[in-house]
Amino acid sequence: MQGKEIRYRPGHGGYVSEFTRFIDGFLAAHPEVGASQRHGWYIYWDHNVDLAEEELARRDSVPPKPYSYD
């Protein structure tokens, strides 16, 4: 990613915040961070959904009271 020009969306008057410049520079200098972020995404978010298990949980749940202070 080094040596590659980073392009920003038009419509912001060409302004790039100091924080954005810092993060872009950090990610360019540390490419392993991007790989670590993708690995973390797969651990916590990309799971196969078991629809049968969700249906069982829905049927086994107790409906909430209409008024919680009873």
Q: How confident is the model over 21-40, as pLDDT tens digits?
A: 899 899 999 999 988 988 88
> How far is 33 from 8, CA to CA, in rounded Å?
21
**DSSP label of 61:** S
Residue 28 lies in a domain: yes
**Structural domain of 37:** 18-60
pLDDT at 64 over 90: no
Residue 24 lies in a domain: yes
Q: What is the pLDDT of residue 22?
A: 93
Residue 40 lies in a domain: yes
Residue 8 lies in a domain: no
Q: What is the pTM of this model?
A: 0.45
What's the structural domain count of the chain? 1
Q: Are 20 and 27 in contact (CB under 8 A)?
A: no
Q: What is the pLDDT of residue 17?
A: 87
Q: What is the pLDDT of residue 56?
A: 93
Residue 66 lies in a domain: no
Nearest to 2 by CA among 36, 38, 26, 37: 26
